[in-house]
Amino acid sequence: MVHSVELTLDDAGDAAVRRIWTALRDAGLPSQADHTGASNRPHTTLTVAEDISRAADPDLVAALPRLPMPCRLGAPVVFGQGRYTVALLVVPSVELLDLHAQVHRICLPHMASGALGHTGPGSWTPHVTVARRVGAEQLAAVCEIAAAGREIEGGFAGLRHWDGNARIVQPITG
């Protein structure tokens, strides 16, 4: 498994994404609503590594003064091949890119094998996942429902550390 540091959405943004999850499920399509784990909630992953030491958590408190931060979720974006992941693109602001770079710098010394390449500054695509394991024949329908919400105005409200090995979410609090 992996570890990640993630931004969570405010109540309005969270509810808007969950409406898309529900619409996908109601249409009989893959949806993040199908994942019923307690840790499942709309989020944007800032960094991912095979392991991020819990010692990073106190250091991540330094990023909290940047929150809450406005965010805008835009068009659907598709990742993968064969079985796809569909997400909503997070329109990157200067503030978000600065926060991402700060979290990357904070976490790097706590990652024995470094961050996964696609999450580093200059390679990161900020997004909020709406469906995983989408078949090619379902892709158009999933994207149509995901796009129906138009742009979502919301905010990033929290920061958390996901330990995929222990399956534990640790909120970062000051």
- Domain containing 58 — which CATH number? 3.90.1140.10
What is the mean predicted confidence (pLDDT) over 135-155? 93
Q: What is the band of 174 on the pLDDT scale with cuts at 50, 70, 90?
A: confident
Q: How many domains does the chain have?
A: 1
Q: Which two tokens stand for residue 148?
A: 């129906």
Residue 130, pLDDT score: 97
Is residue 173 a part of any domain in this protein? no
Is residue 23 a part of any domain in this protein? yes
Is residue 41 a part of any domain in this protein? yes
What is the mean predicted confidence (pLDDT) over 66-88? 95
Is residue 172 a part of any domain in this protein? no
Closest CA to 48 of 128, 108, 90: 108
* Type and span of the H or E element at 148: helix 139-148
Domain limits at 153? 3-165
User: Kind of pairing, strands 127-135 and 3-9?
Assistant: unpaired
Are the CB atoms for 160 and 169 separated by under 8 Å?
yes
* Type and span of the H or E element at 131: strand 127-135
Residue 50, pLDDT score: 94
Encode pLDDT of 48-73 as tens digits: 999 999 999 999 999 999 999 999 99
Is residue 171 a part of any domain in this protein? no
Crossing angle of helices 11-26 and 139-148, rounded to 10°: 140
Residue 17, pLDDT score: 96
Is residue 125 a part of any domain in this protein? yes
Q: What is the band of 82 on the pLDDT scale with cuts at 50, 70, 90?
A: confident
Query: φ and ψ at 63, to 5 degrees?
Result: -85, -15
d(CA 87, CA 19) in angstroms, rounded, equals 14
Is residue 174 a part of any domain in this protein? no
Is residue 119 a part of any domain in this protein? yes
- Whether the per-residue pLDDT at 157 is higher than 70: the answer is yes
Residue 77, pLDDT score: 96
